[in-house]
Amino acid sequence: MHFKKDFDFVHVSKYFYMISIVLTIVGVICLSVFGLNFGVDFKAGSNVDVSLSKSLTISDINPIIEEIGVAEGTSITPGENRVNIRFNEVLTEDHDKQLKEAILKLDSTASFEVNTVDTQMAKELARNAIYAVLLSCIGIIIYVSIRFEWRFALAAILALVHDAFLVITVFSIFQLEVELIFITAVLTIIGYSINDTIVIFDRIRENLRFAKLKTDEDLVVVVNKSVNQTIKRSLYTALTVFIAAFFLFMFGGESIKMFSLAMVIGLLFGAYSSIFIASPFWLLLKGKQKNTKVGKAS
Amino acid sequence: MKRIISFFVTVIVLSGVMLVSTPGLLDKVRLGLDLKGGFEILYEATPLVEGQAVTQESLNSTAQSLEKRANVLGTSEPEVTTEGSNRIRLKIAGVTDEAEVRKKMKEPANLTFRSAPNGGIEQTDFTQVELLGSDFKENGAEVVYNTLNKPEISIQVNDKNKFAEVTKRLIGKELAIFLDETMLSAPTVQAELTDGKAQITGSYSIDEANNLRDTINLGALPLSLTEKYSQSVGATLGKQSLDKTIIAGLTASVLILIFMIGIYRLPGLLASFALILHTWLLILVFVLADFTLTLPGIAAFILGIGMAVDANIITNERIREEMRNGRSVMSSVKAGNKNSFRTILDSNITTIIVAGVMYAYGSGAVKGFALVLIIEIVLSIATNVYFSHWLITLLVKSGLLKKPKQFGVKESEIRAL
């Protein structure tokens, strides 16, 4: 695959802006209406994952939980040879023991994973997660501003916030569980998305050195040329990382399923935004700068 | 000729080293609790007596006591670390009776001597703590028999003078012995005790007495602990996750290698070799630095392979581009290596920034993920940039790699200058 003729990315970007704006509005609506389905890490309580040699149903598990006396607000999600029980209350050691004993009676090969998070801890984890995301963004802005210029930094941040937000939106729409590891996924997506954007920006910067910029049209040519020169690398790298994330999602351990899914979605948005959002947005900012210069000169 | 030889020697020697050492290395990788079963608890420490502060010292000694206890209970590789000003993280792998261990870790031996300032002999009357758990000698409790051949528990204090002062002050009054909030006995102090020993009397059977002695001997915790966060993974479930994730990783890796060779031909093969070396080095670092590999860590490993390949893709795309512009193979490779380096550095540093933040703010598993990511990026620059460049240059200079076709560039694509 080799593009004989340069594809006009700048020209089509306005359609993609529209798509992204619509998706963002959908995201804002979804988040305010449905919110996110927080797991124990952020909501406190206990999460019990049981791996079994047979499939248990809700009616198998319910009597056990009622007997222990922690049934209120508990949700049971049975799966093939496994069952997930989510308690709104923090499971005490005694409850934990009783629950395990009761399930072991039904299936002696059962293996458990229990996560318990105390309310105060949950708040702290959530706060740290927000700090981490903000701090990453600040770090990136500083680095990109030093190495490039603030317009690149702004465009890069816009693209990565866009990616992170859309992944959160997808999790809100489908009410997928958001655990601590999800934040790791969001941060990794940010890291990947910026990586992807930087490669294109590097090329724009390089091409700018040799370009004679007289009109806005010249800038458009530089951006289009740069994206075209790096498009194959963008696609190939997105593909290799996608392969890794996809197989982790399909076959990887249960507790990183949601993480891998977030990665898969984030990668796709990351590749998309680097090409269609970040560079054209930089052009928009740069174009404004040129116009004001021209305006002052005349 | 010399270059061809050094190329093949490098490749063969490295392959040999990797092939021979990998099984041993893999055995030595320390696996996290989520992969081999066990539990992890984050405790918050509060002072035994209200109003007192948790000092770094008391936190450390509490952590040490916990570790001793874990060792006494015969668990494998207990890991106890303090976090911040009032937290202790405990990790214990391969436990069969988790509930029992958890109970033993936290519960026993907050031994205190208390007096009743307002008189009285009821449990609730004893509000004044005279001696704390940390005042008692470790392993100082033993079962002795009194004149009636009834078992009693003899305990020792660290500071005889302090004990003497307390007993002198309380002559004729009760000095109650509490294990946590349970009153064991409330003997009346008959005389000033200067030998630093005290007896716990009660109608204990021999078993009960032995049990009590063991509980006290497990070490008194200077602070009381509450669980803030806990994760426990069954051994079977851990093994399952490990196996599944490794299969996922191998499948993904093989596909990525095939992809690289398919697209970039011989340079792709070199890239694949660098990628394998990269993975092997990563395992080596884990073993040498004795890091613990967790499930998110493996995820980072696998994702990292997908990302590390980026350096090779950037370089190879650049080399091809230079060729299409009509440059010779030699100068294309030179220019490609040079021009791609800055891009790779810029893009990797931004990822390191994010990973660094993750490491600083994350806890447990997130930290593990971030650490793998950072090491991976650093190693990637060594292998997928420097080593890859070196291999390619060696082959080009030796004349083995001299046609654009070998790079996957068609003659028709090359623009005439």
Q: Are the C-beta atoms of B238 and B347 separated by less than 8 Å?
A: no
| Contact residues on chain A for B94, CB-CB shorter than 8 A | none
d(Cα A8, Cα A275) in Å, to the nearest integer? 11
CATH of domain B111-220: 3.30.1360.200
- Rounded (10°) CA dihedral B396, B402, B403, B407: -10
What single-letter amino acid sits at B258?
I
CATH topology of A9-39+121-292 equal to that of A45-117?
Answer: no
Q: Is the CATH code 2.60.40.10 the one for domain B38-108+224-232?
A: no
Residue B130 three-state SS: strand
Q: Are the C-beta atoms of B236 and B196 separated by less than 8 Å?
A: no
Q: Are the C-beta atoms of B122 and B80 separated by less than 8 Å?
A: no
d(Cα A158, Cα B145) in Å, to the nearest integer? 78
C-alpha torsion sign, points B301, B306, B311, B316: positive
CATH of domain A45-117: 3.30.70
Place of tokens 């007993």: B167
The alpha-carbon radius of gyration of chain B (Å, integer) is: 33
| Comparison of pLDDT for B212 and A282, the residue scoring more | A282
| Contact residues on chain A for B40, CB-CB shorter than 8 A | none
pLDDT, one tens digit per residue, over B187-206 is: 777 777 777 777 777 777 88
Domain boundaries, chain B: 1-31+234-413, 38-108+224-232, 111-220
Structure tokens at A143: 């680095």
Q: Give me the pLDDT at residue A175, please.
A: 92
Question: Mutation test of the interface with chain A: which of B107, B303, B309, B372, choosing the one with the most A Cβ atoms within 10 A?
Answer: B303
In this prediction the ipTM stands at 0.86
Please give, rounded to a whole number of angstroms, the shortest distance from the CA of B394 to a CA of chain A: 24
Q: Which of B34, B353, B361 sits opposite A143 (nearest CB)?
A: B353
Least confident residue range of A73-77, A290-294, B322-326: A290-294
Residue B105 is inside which H or E element, if any?
helix B98-106
d(Cα B57, Cα B47) in Å, to the nearest integer? 12
Q: Which CATH superfamily is domain A9-39+121-292 in?
A: Multidrug efflux transporter AcrB transmembrane domain (1.20.1640.10)
| A128 contacts chain B (CB < 8 A) | yes
Q: Which of A2, A116, A252 sits opposite B244 (nearest CB)?
A: A252
Residue B85 burial (10 A CB sphere; 0-12, 13-18, 19+): exposed
pLDDT at residue B28 is higher than 80: yes
- Using pLDDT thresholds of 50, 70 and 90, give the confidence band for residue A5: low
Contact A252 B256 (CB under 8 A): no
The per-residue b/e assignment along B164-179, b for 16 or more CB within 10 angstroms, e otherwise, is bebbeebeeebbbbbb
Q: Which residues in chain A (9-48) have CB-CB distances under 8 A to chain B?
A: none
Domain boundaries, chain A: 9-39+121-292, 45-117
Q: Report the interhelical angle of B98-106 vs B56-72 (nearest 10°).
A: 140
Q: Are the C-beta atoms of B167 and B188 separated by less than 8 Å?
A: no
Q: Give me the pLDDT at residue A294, please.
A: 45
pLDDT, one tens digit per residue, over B284-335 is: 999 999 888 888 888 888 888 888 899 999 999 999 999 988 888 899 999 9
**Across-strand partners of A78?**
A83
Q: Are the C-beta atoms of B40 and B66 separated by less than 8 Å?
A: no
CA atoms within 13 A on the CB side of A297: 6
Tell me the CA end-to-end span of chain A in Å, nearest whole number.
Answer: 46
d(Cα A72, Cα A84) in Å, to the nearest integer? 16
Mean pLDDT score, B145-157: 80
Q: Which of B302, B317, B370 sits opposite A232 (nearest CB)?
A: B317
Q: Which residues in chain A (158-187) have CB-CB distances under 8 A to chain B?
A: 180-181, 183-184, 187
d(Cα B245, Cα B208) in Å, to the nearest integer? 48
d(Cα B401, Cα B319) in Å, to the nearest integer? 13
A42: nearest CA in chain B?
B229
pTM of this structure: 0.80
Highest mean pLDDT: which range of B104-108, B236-240, B386-390? B386-390
Q: Report the interhelical angle of A150-173 vs A257-273 (nearest 10°).
A: 140
What single-letter amino acid sits at B134?
S
Which CATH fold would you assign to the domain B1-31+234-413? Answer: Multidrug efflux transporter AcrB transmembrane fold (1.20.1640)
Q: Give me the pLDDT at residue B220, please.
A: 62
| A253 contacts chain B (CB < 8 A) | yes
Q: How many Å separate Cα B410 from the centre of its chain?
A: 51
Please give, rounded to a whole number of angstroms, the shortest distance from the CA of A233 to a CA of chain B: 6
Q: Which of A117, A244, A255 sits opposite B306 (nearest CB)?
A: A244
Residue A69 is inside which H or E element, if any?
none
Q: Which of B300, B366, B370 sits opposite A180 (nearest CB)?
A: B366
d(Cα B266, Cα A264) in Å, to the nearest integer? 30
What single-letter amino acid sits at A190?
I
